[in-house]
Chain A
Amino acid sequence: MSWTGNILRVNLTKGTCKAETLNNDWAQDYLGQRGLATKYLVEEVDAKVDALAPENKMIMATGPLTGTMASTGGRYSVITKSPLTNCVACSNSGGFIGAEIKNAGWDMIIFEGKSKKPVYLYLVNDKAELLPADDIWGTTVWHTDEWLHKQHQDPMLRIAAVGRSAEAGCLYAAIVNDMHRAAGRSGVGTVMASKNLKAIAVRGTKGIGNIKDPARFMAAVNAGKKVLADNAVTSQGLPTYGTQVLMNVINEMGALPANNMQDVQFEGAQNVSGEAMHEPRKSDGKPNLTTNAGCFGCTIACGRISTIDKGHFSVENKPEYWGNSGGLEYEAAWALGPDTGVDDIDALTYANFLCNEDGFDPISFGSTLAAAMELFGMGVITTKETNGMELKFGSADALVWAVEKMTTGEGFGKDLGLGSKRLCEKYGHPELSMTVKGQEFPAYDPRGIQGMGLAYATSNRGACHLRGYTVASEVLGIPEKTDPLVTEGKAGLVKAFQDATAAVDSSGLCLFTTFAWSLEDIAPQVDAACEGDWSAERLAEAGERIWNMERDFNLRAGLTGADDTLPKRLLKDAAKTGPAKGRVNDLDKMLPEYYEQRGWSNDGVPTPATRQRLGLA
């Protein structure tokens, strides 16, 4: 219960859509969404498969609480093998389409094969059809969204789509839903486009009526909502400033990577911070931020809705960008701003709009551009490659030029679409790529926040803040404060965060609830909704099982413990300023202990005993 019990299997090669029954035993072991869909992936897909081959599959999965009234219960994830990392990819998104899929009666949609011609999935409750996408292939996500609403005369259709960047082969293309929410990382959009699948348009009117114990569920939901409402981060910080509440905080603690992670602080941070988004601008007196926005069911509402200054050079004579759209979140703002040295908030917002409009990950894009800027500074990349553009750190012109190239993958946009690792390899300087397992870093410098170094190095999808967000503890003191510059105890902290996160990502809830909630707050909601007895301990155990399952997939894909590392810059080049001045990331002090706590061998392989314990044998 609370799972719909139905899977939609879409075979793009054959052009068929078939209903299947969910494997309930797996649901009891892997909960839903991230965990359950990964279980299907690892059972059905050879880990060694070429991520962009028809043999790879792409799963859009909801969690058991998706579509319910549990706060933030609107999430879905996209699970596939990543073309960027060759690891398992699992990108989580909010907005509204996750709940819509669930309301249409489906726990997940498994896409397999490859369509001969561009198609989109039109799904209205039980009715699933693959329809020709010739009219929208080659167009942006935003145009696709508009076209599909009109085509089906339904303003309530929820739409997820890939943009032109995915079609052009950008390796970190996103799937964008509801105009500006995204399954953003690891190139899940690239996989979708490789299957000639342009979009998914869903309308669900069945609703969710199989909550196990409705009265107890509503009591747990209301208790959870109250905890969020009483917590300063989830009731004030996030609604007011969004995740951008962090920009100044992280900069001050010397953990804001800048200029392709050469520096750990950025002079212009204030100009692109959450606070700056509230400041009235000179031209029209309006702030960058219009309002905050909530995803489906979310009582936090950290989303940013912003405008660009109409007079800004990026949008002069482009009225189509004068309206509101999804504004800067912290990670995007960091990658597009501090990491490229640009502190022009309108240029950043414009770049962010384009990332949404044509569907690519702003973190990977910004970070890749930062690497290109460093290479340009070294004279390795020249104006010959950039068609005359001076690709300099701090240049808003360069940022705007680069993001526009990215949308269609033309010219230097093709190089940028490779991602930092492949771009740096192409230009002969792999050491300049700030990536783990091929995926670009987010916005926390592991020299200033030691635990994050271990979290990045061991993340199952490459560098990522959303796999073990020890920032919560090391910076914000959640659930308890640990010293960011200390390595002791971080192995256990990372493991605990990784396991808990895997459980949250499998539930249908948003990870941001964990600024206020622990698994003790989540378990009663899952337990009242779902078949089976769900305690916090069982959720953590499911999380650990999921983590090890993902690890196994990556190992089968050919990765080894040697890939659990960081770029040399972070291990060798000390931070130049701030509280962490003189520090590198001491990964070697944390990794062995982490392996041990995980029950893995010295080279990072789960031992038979661990597999046995978790039921993975």
Chain B
Amino acid sequence: MQMSLLIDAGKCTGCVQCELACSLENEGIFNPAKSRIRIFTFHYEGRFVPYTCTQCAEAWCMQACPVDAIAYDAATGAKVILEAACVGCKVCTIACPFGTVNYNSDTGKVIKCDLCGGDPECAKACPTEAITYVDADQTGYERMRAWAVKTDAGSTAIA
């Protein structure tokens, strides 16, 4: 069963426990600035939106990488940065229309969500179930696909 992150922004309180958990898992320290998941605050609307890579099928980041440094993890469906191969050219950071691949100037490489190898820490840390890790069929995967098509109409893979 393919699992994926299900995000329900309506339940998010903006507490950034997810960012803390993510940075701890991936960087070994508490550092929201280096989190792969980020909460965006809509002050006027009074809304908090957790946001990270949807592991989209189109995988623009992976496609655009000139040195094969982003790999598909068949077990989780995640597109994973191979740090040893990444040269830090940042093409993926502009190729990803979701803005979820980011440059880390400390390492000179890029970072993105890899679903923690199938046990995402953000979902475990979330106190309100705004972030859950569930059967991909429940996640509105089709909706994500719809965004993808909107983003690059016509240039997505044919079914």
Contacts and interface: CB of A to CB of B under 8 A. Distances in A.
Interface in B29-86: 29-34, 43-48
Contacts of B34: 205, 207
B33 A156 contact: yes
Given A69-B125, A103-B31, A205-B34, A325 B23 contact: no
A206 interface: yes
Interface in A190-231: 203-209, 211, 218, 225, 229
Interface in A289-331: 290-299, 301, 303, 305-307, 323-325
Interface in B114-149: 125, 127-128
Contact of A207 (B33, B44, B127): B33
B17 A299 contact: yes
Contacts of B14: 293-294
Contact of B15 (A103, A211, A295): A295
Contacts of B16: 96, 294, 296-297
Given A205-B34, A208-B31, A301-B13, A69 B20 contact: yes
Given A156-B33, A208-B31, A323 B43 contact: yes
A357 to B, nearest CB: 12
Interface string A71-102: 10000000000000000000000001001000
A205 B34 CA distance: 7
- Give the interface residue-count category, chain A: 35 or more
A69 B13 contact: no
Main secondary structure of the interface of A (DSSP, over half): loop
Most buried by A among B43, B44, B46: B46
A67 B30 CA distance: 7
A239 B31 CA distance: 26
Most buried by A among B17, B45, B47: B17
A204 B13 contact: no
B15 A297 contact: yes
Nearest to B46: A324
B21 interface: yes
A223 to B, nearest CB: 14
B47 A291 contact: yes
Contacts of B17: 69, 71, 297, 299
A179 interface: yes
B28 interface: yes
A211 B48 CA distance: 29
B43 to A, nearest CB: 6
B34 to A, nearest CB: 7
A68 interface: yes
A398 to B, nearest CB: 28
A301 B31 contact: no
Contacts of B95: none
A324 B15 contact: no
Given A293-B48, A299-B127, A179 B24 contact: no
Contact of A209 (B30, B44, B45, B48): B30
Interface in A34-68: 67-68
B23 A301 contact: no
A67 B24 CA distance: 12
A208 B30 contact: yes
Contacts of B127: 71, 225, 229, 299, 301
Contact of B13 (A229, A291, A325): A291
Contact of B30 (A68, A290, A291): A68
Nearest to B128: A301
Given A103-B31, A208-B30, A294-B14, A69 B46 contact: no
A86 B34 CA distance: 43
A294 B46 contact: no
Contacts of A68: 20, 30
A347 to B, nearest CB: 20
A299 B31 contact: no
A179 B14 CA distance: 14
A211 B28 CA distance: 10
A96 B118 CA distance: 30
B46 A291 contact: yes
A290 B46 contact: yes
Contact of A208 (B15, B29, B43, B44): B29
Contacts of B46: 290-291, 293, 305-307, 323-324
Contact of B31 (A205, A229, A307): A205
A303 B46 CA distance: 11
13 contacts: A69-B17, A69-B20, A99-B32, A205-B31, A208-B30, A229-B127, A294-B13, A294-B15, A294-B16, A298-B15, A299-B17, A301-B13, A323-B46
Rank and list the top 5 A-B pairs by shortest CB-CB distance, nearest first: A207-B31, A324-B46, A294-B15, A209-B29, A323-B44
Interface of B: 13-17, 20-21, 23-24, 27-34, 43-48, 106, 125, 127-128
Given A297-B20, A324-B43, 14 more contacts: A69-B20, A208-B29, A208-B30, A208-B31, A209-B28, A209-B29, A209-B30, A211-B30, A290-B47, A291-B13, A291-B48, A294-B14, A323-B43, A324-B44
